[in-house]
Amino acid sequence: EVVPAGQPLAAGQVYDSNSVGLRAMLIEAGCEVIPLGHAPDSPEALQAAIERAGGADVLLTSGGVSMGKYDFMRDLLVEQGRVSFWKVRMRPGGPAILGGWNGLPVFGLPGNPVSSLVVFHIIVRPALTGQPPQTLRLRAATPFRALPDKTAFWRATLQNGVVSDYGQQGSGILRSLSEAGALVIVPEGQPVQPGDDVDVILL
C-alpha cells in the first residue's frame, strides 16, 4: 500500500515518506545508504529482501514490528534471527525492535511515519554515532500530559525560548514533525504544567 511520491494514490494507499525521511537522517549522521526497496507482506519476500543487504554494517527496516497479522519482520527475527529487545517504553515508537540476522545488526522501526523518525532520532542515531540526543532545559508555556507507563516525546512549537504543545500528536501526522521545532520529554507519570522547566530535544 506504500507508493513513491508523485504517483496517483489509489484507495488505501499512502506515499512513502519513511524511506525519504530516514535516508536524509542517515546521511546527516554520516552513513552511506543502500536502499533495498519495499517487501510485500509475506515472510518469504521479506526474508529475500533482508538477504539482499549483503555486506552492510546495519540493516534498518520500517514497518512489520508491531502486533498485527502482517507484522512479519518481528516474527522473522524471533523465529530465525536474534532479538535483543522488542518494545520500548516510549511514545511515539513503542513497537521498535533491535535484533540480528546472520550476524547483521537489525533496527526494526515502526511503520507510522512519526514513530519511525522519532525512534531513529532517540535510539538509532545515538547507536550509530555514539552521541546521545542533545537536550536543553526550557520553560513550558502549555501543559504536556504524562503517560502512566511510558516516556513521552511530544511535539512542540518553540518561540522566544519557551515550548508549547503542538496539539496533534498522532503517529501518522507527519506534518507535525515538519512544523514542530522540538520534542518535549515527559517522564512517565510526571505531567508538565505551564511554567515548569522541561527537557527539550531540538528538531
| CATH code for the domain in which residue 171 is found | 2.40.340.10
**Which of 95, 129, 163 is the last residue before a domain boundary?**
129
Same domain, residue pair 175 and 81: no
User: For the chain, what's the residue count?
Assistant: 203
Same domain, residue pair 17 and 69: yes
**Which of 83, 107, 129 is the last residue before a domain boundary?**
129
Same domain, residue pair 37 and 119: yes
- Band (pLDDT 50/70/90 cuts) for residue 194 is very high
**Which of 86, 108, 129 is the last residue before a domain boundary?**
129
Q: What's the CATH number where 119 sits?
A: 3.40.980.10
The pLDDT tens digits for 80-125 are 999 999 999 999 999 999 999 989 999 999 999 999 999 999 999 9
Same domain, residue pair 101 and 190: no
Cell numbers placing 29 = 549522521
Res 6: pLDDT: 86
Read off the pTM: 0.92
Beta-strand relationship, 151-159 and 182-186: antiparallel
Select from 6, 8, 18, 27 the least CA-distant residue to 113: 18
Cell numbers placing 6 = 508523485
Specify whether the CB–CB gap between 53 and 81 falls below 8 A: no
Cα 23 vs. chain centroid, distance in angstroms?
A: 13
Run of H or E residues at 109: strand 104-109
Same domain, residue pair 145 and 85: no
Res 27: pLDDT: 96
Same domain, residue pair 13 and 101: yes
Number of domain units in the chain = 2
Domain range enclosing 92: 2-129
Cα(152)–Cα(145) distance, integer angstroms: 8
Same domain, residue pair 95 and 157: no
